[in-house]
Structure 1
Amino acid sequence: MATLPPRKSQTPTRICISKQHLTPLQTLLQMGFPRHRAEKALASTGNRGVQIASDWLLAHVNDASLDECAPREYIIYACPTGPFLQQLEEFWSKSRQMCGWNGAHNYVPHITLVSFFKAPDECSLQLSKALKQVVDMTGALLDRPLKLEPYMSQNFMGFFVAEEDANYLKRLALQYVKEVSNSIISDTYEQLDAIVACFPWCGAVSSGTRCIPRSSRSISLEPHVKSLHLTLAYQFPQAQFNALKALVETLDAGCASNWELRLYSRDPRLATKQVQKVVYPHNPHETDELELRIGDYIYLNSDVVDSSSDGWAEGISWLTGSTGHLPVNYTERTAESDAWTLHRVVQLSKSVASSLTSAEDLDIVDGRSISTEPEERRRQSTLHPEIIEGSSFEESEQSVEKYLRQTLKPCLELPSVQLLNSHNLSHQHNPHTPTIEITTNMSSCSTSMSKQVVDEILVEPPAAQPPRPDDTLSVHSDHSMHPCSLDASQTKNRKVYIMRHGERVDFTFGTWIPYCFDEFGNYMRKDLNMPKTLPRRKNSPEGWQNDSPLTNVGVFQANLIGQALLEANVQVDHVYCSPSYRCIQTCTSALEGLQQSGQHKIKLEPGLFEWMAWYPSGIPDWLTKSELIEAKYNIDLEYEPVQPSGELTASLKESTEQFYTRNHDVLLQLLERTTGNILVVAHATTLDTCSRQLTGGAPRSTNELRQVIHKIPYCSLATVEQVDGVWKLVEPECLPVTHSKNPRFEWNALATT
């Protein structure tokens, strides 16, 4: 048999083996990406592989700065984990809710070891490896809590690290200087010539031991006398001092035993920007507008946020790097560190209770999984998010969980509460989800109710209590069987119910008009959540652009609120509504649920319309009363509005204060004209503008208004009650309606490979 000659040319096996040894950078270069782009993508994504880097490059295809030589800025934190972190997260949340935003909210809880320094993209992997090498070389890990000493003044609150522990952390920082200097800084990397100035602790060491090459020896180093500290609050109004001081005093630093080193980097453009998180999607209507996706972050100039007259500002998308104009009220402020990239996490403690798993196992890009919100932080610590264009995050389920936990909290104080000790012992690692069993007798209930399971909380219904007039938890409650027995009108206290409209088509589907109307103007729905038909209007379909209808879900939401008000025996005597079609639909559906649609004609009040600064082109082309009557809406044709629509045209440039005053004055006129309870159906802003001054508050600033409307979802209901001549905001008689998102299903996705 002939001898098989060896093959000298490349074979598939050899090619495969050689490809397995390619670095991510080499792979990206083989894919055709330029070196500078490949290095920028790898640095921006924390060197987490080819897939995520290539996704980043595709997402940033329209990024004007993609080819700019702008080194990223790096920083090293010592971050607490475990029980101490949980305390700090609760403090972050409470201080922001009670006292407003201060400088500490811009970052995760931390002790700064190395201030921001710039490094070229090709050095990012070496900077990451150096952090691990430093801890390995040092050897000793913390086996006890860091000694933290509280400090409070009129402009700063925080913990200072005791000298012994501070020296330990400073040695780590200094060793990192040496490691980076020896392995990275060279004459070819002149971009790093400022790196040493960013290591605060180098001043304690003689210049002969720094190992800095000659390209960096000209740097001016000065001793850094600032003590290591963990900031809790700064840049806060002095009026908030006592409230913040009380919160700080609740913190127990004795459990600060778990710590980790983190290497972050940020886009250099972020240094002077304010970071906003997208809370509502937006599809551009103009070429200069920026597309907004849930989960994206936007970089804005802080002065623009406060000074914008129309609510629009120019921003930069973290997800795509694109620049464009956006509605600021579709975003909310978040920590700057949420938009950073986490490169490395190294444990400093022997007793590990890390908030993060190994950095190699996480796709943490620009800080997406490191939120300053406690609930979000606990949720995201189990996720592996990816930087994929168009990705979104479902937050409604977490909101439901948070609401249920608050609802169940009173149950924990019942005498019948029993901890399942045996089960609880097996779950000691998760103190946030205690296992609880509540056993009570519910003999008066007409139907047997099974146990409800929420995470690991097992709950049976509490014992039957005498029914309350506002009890909407069960349709079997006694008062619901006798709707006339507890008429709300018997309380004598006058009430105003202020309701936001339901889910709207344009916010749900984006640009919908070109796809749902043919060339003859005939409407065709493209989704089951779109209305089957639309009423005829003279300016169709253009008229729907600024006067969107409700989705079918929106109609259902409103009906649910009406049903709940019926069960609570709410009495409505007068109904007023914004002339926006979505509000009219909401009002009609709510009255149907309340079973009073035939009893009340809807009075259209243009003065209840939202802020005119959002409508620079003028008021929308609303449906006329005759068009609404033709569409079977029960409109009061004889009603004379407090503020006719013509007067709104003169308010196009109204300030926030003028907007509050307009809505407030309209409501006062309505209260003077009538007696009994009033239902007002309008917009998200209406819940605040029609209640704030009525209850003694002052009009909010533009920025405060934008922040508060983010907390008012579809069909929110606020109740204001007059008690002894004083109007007060009270708990509504019905529960809120909450649901998760449901994105569009594409059937052919099942056929793709």
Structure 2
Amino acid sequence: MPSIVDIFVLVTFQLNRGPADDNLDTEALNMISEYLDECPGPLKLDFFNQNNFIGCFLKDNCYKYFTELVSKFGAECKKYGINVEPVKKQLHITLAYQYSSEYHEELMQQARGIDLNAACQWEVRRVKKTYHATLEDELDLIIGDYVFMDPNEPTRSTDQWYFGTSWLTGRQSMFPGPYTERTSETWTWALHASELLVQKETPSPVCNGDSHAHMPLPKPPKASGETYEAVWKADPTYAKVNKEVKKSPVPRKEVRPQDLGIPRSLVVMRHGERMDFLFGRSWVDLCFDDDGNYRPSDLNMPKSMPKRAGTHYEYAKDAPLTTLGSFQAHLTGMGQATVPLHVEPGIFEWLGWYQLGLPKFFTPTELKSHGFNVDLSYKPFVPITKFDMEENIEGYYRRSGETSRNIVIRHQQEGGNILILGHAGSLEVCTRQLLRKTPRPDRDFRDLCAKVPYCGLLSITECLRTQKWSMGDAPILSLTHGQNKQMVMTKLSLSLDYF
């Protein structure tokens, strides 16, 4: 836990509107503005702990000030038929709650490390126009996001580029100020990092003849930063709420014939290099004109682009492979061009990364019309209509694990090799349930995703004697190559000094 944190203190007004009156916007809020000038200095907090709760409570003078503020505001609102409930509970900041008593001392030690006297001021800016970062030190701006920044940034900047923190992703970097506007609106409980205090896992034996081995559990990463297109969501270890959990359908029970002698091998592979990962999300604006005509601007861009339903902007969320990405796939390919493709939405990546909406995918029929060998008779185990957009990381593991289990059950009679082509996380989530292991915490999962190369693959094999799955050697070598920087050349001059 860092020594300095941003502390949010919120006073929630529960309003029951009566007759509308526009004067409320000026009279009541102007009163608050005047009363804020009488604030008794910096916020003073005291630590408090009891049973399974650790938090900070306002000291007497601050508590009195805020309760009076609510009372004065309520009296002003009452003139216009609006009832404001008085403060009934001590105003506080919760640091930890609903945890096992065995963790109390460790949590208290971390809480004591917070500097309660640290200064904390910020300006909240609403994103009003999308901006796609073109450099590593730039921040992607997404409609619906908010950016927190030091209020002194405008005075320090000479070109209207400010340094801020994205509310959606927690990423800190530079962003163009004119693409945002100042706002007083803010939100609470935006989780940008979580720390698992205790991690337990019972290793499963790996079947390899008569020998057994254990898979080591990776240590949680020290850094809380994240670079893998993530939209962070609160996980169950952060706050427990009584929310109905949507249950995934139970997979069919597997029954193995006694005389089956061919084991099954499941190979899970990541896709090749993608256009948006290499050229950024602004590649669509760079390559398409207003009429939707495609024109590549780099040799690593495909020569042509299939037409799709809707506009060409659908490619922003559903990007194709680069030229190099297609070459990677060709080198890694297994020479099975005649094997039909089954389009299975159940292996799509974590829905927590798509809170702003899913891509509009090509349909199997559209893919077939573009020359892909798609089996149109295939019925997916998890259609898109069954997606749970509130899916947490455990739900992602469960959905992917049950989908891959159903896939291998489908091929239990003939055995042999099965290939799942998905995303970086697919190598983990499509095999972990079959290996009889529990889901990893989201930070460990994200760390693994960042380490999976393009067209990287993982193989697990069934042991006929124990009917268990274990890690095996990848049937195809990984492809390693250097990164080639883009060259922008406006003038070429050679000096005789070089010869």
* RCO higher in structure (CA 8 A, sep ≥6): 2
Structure 1 or 2, whichever has the larger Rg, is 1
Q: Which has the higher helix share?
A: 1
